[in-house]
């Protein structure tokens, strides 16, 4: 398990006893370092992470103090081969990349995609499961840093895509029932992601919950119409057509079929 990470509240397990949870500036700087391991990070980048366009006159000195605290924490820890080196007007955070959660996440997703392309479905499912299990919350959870926004959005998008690939493979291999609760949460968090909606419709239909699948479609139509004045895309429409045309065999409905009210407030 990675011992440095940003996929949730930032953490650095070997440094935890030396850097208290309330030392925001150190955690902002650490998050920049963990985001870009083994790469040059300028002093300007570190200052921007802490203060944006309005740094104080003592910004450089304050950053140097934070970096000094991090260096001392590394020296006092069991971090092993971790180092923080000064390079020109900046720093390099030297660390084995596999110790960082977002690096491992991206690698596992790439391996899952390759396994899927080779027809190794079960292997792909396992890799996606491991990748998604690395997430403990939103990226940089608890740190409101504008300069982190674009990287956070990119990682969240990668997470959503990985989840949808996992759901699609699970449905295709006959495990739709097992992923419905997770699909409901996913669609609740991303109500306008049509890929997720189409997968939820397919999973519900495959479990004999055709009425609920149609309710999910109707809710999407309403949200798109009210919020964006557009209709649903091709994949969702094709999924509804397949349901209405009965092109997929449907087992008998289960006794715990979801109600429309439950679908309106997924948990």
Residue ranges of the chain with per-residue pLDDT less than 50: 249-267
Is this prediction's pTM over 0.85? yes
pLDDT at 248: 56
Instruction: Give pLDDT, residue 78.
Output: 75
What pLDDT score was predicted for residue 97?
Answer: 95
Q: How many CB atoms lie within 10 A of CB 251?
A: 11
- Sign, CA torsion 122/128/158/198: positive
């Amino acid at each position: 398990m990675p011992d440095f990470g940003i996929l949730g509240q930032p953490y650095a397990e070997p440094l935890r006893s030396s850097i208290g949870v309330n030392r925001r500036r150190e955690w902002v700087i650490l998050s920049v370092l963990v985001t870009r391991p083994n790469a040059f990070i300028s002093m300007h980048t570190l200052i921007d992470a802490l203060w944006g366009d309005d740094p104080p006159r003592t910004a450089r000195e304050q950053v140097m103090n934070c970096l000094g605290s991090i260096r001392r924490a590394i020296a006092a820890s069991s971090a092993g081969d971790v180092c923080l080196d000064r390079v020109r007007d900046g720093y390099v955070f030297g660390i084995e990349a596999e110790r960082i959660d977002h690096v491992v996440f991206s690698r596992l997703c790439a391996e899952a995609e390759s396994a899927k392309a080779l027809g190794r479905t079960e292997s792909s499912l396992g890799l996606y499961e491991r990748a998604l299990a690395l997430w403990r919350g939103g990226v940089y959870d608890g740190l409101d840093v504008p300069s982190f926004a674009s990287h956070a959005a990119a990682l969240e998008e990668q997470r959503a895509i990985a989840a949808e690939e996992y759901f699609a493979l699970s449905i295709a291999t006959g495990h739709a029932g097992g992923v419905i609760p997770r699909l409901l949460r996913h669609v609740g968090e991303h109500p306008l992601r049509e890929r997720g909606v189409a997968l939820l419709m397919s999973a519900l239909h495959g479990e004999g919950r055709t009425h609920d699948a149609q309710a999910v479609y109707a809710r999407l139509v309403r949200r798109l119409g009210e919020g964006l004045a557009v209709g649903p895309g091709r994949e969702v429409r094709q999924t509804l057509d397949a349901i209405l045309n009965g092109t997929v065999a449907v087992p008998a409905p289960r006794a715990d079929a979801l109600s429309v009210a439950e679908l309106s407030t997924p948990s």
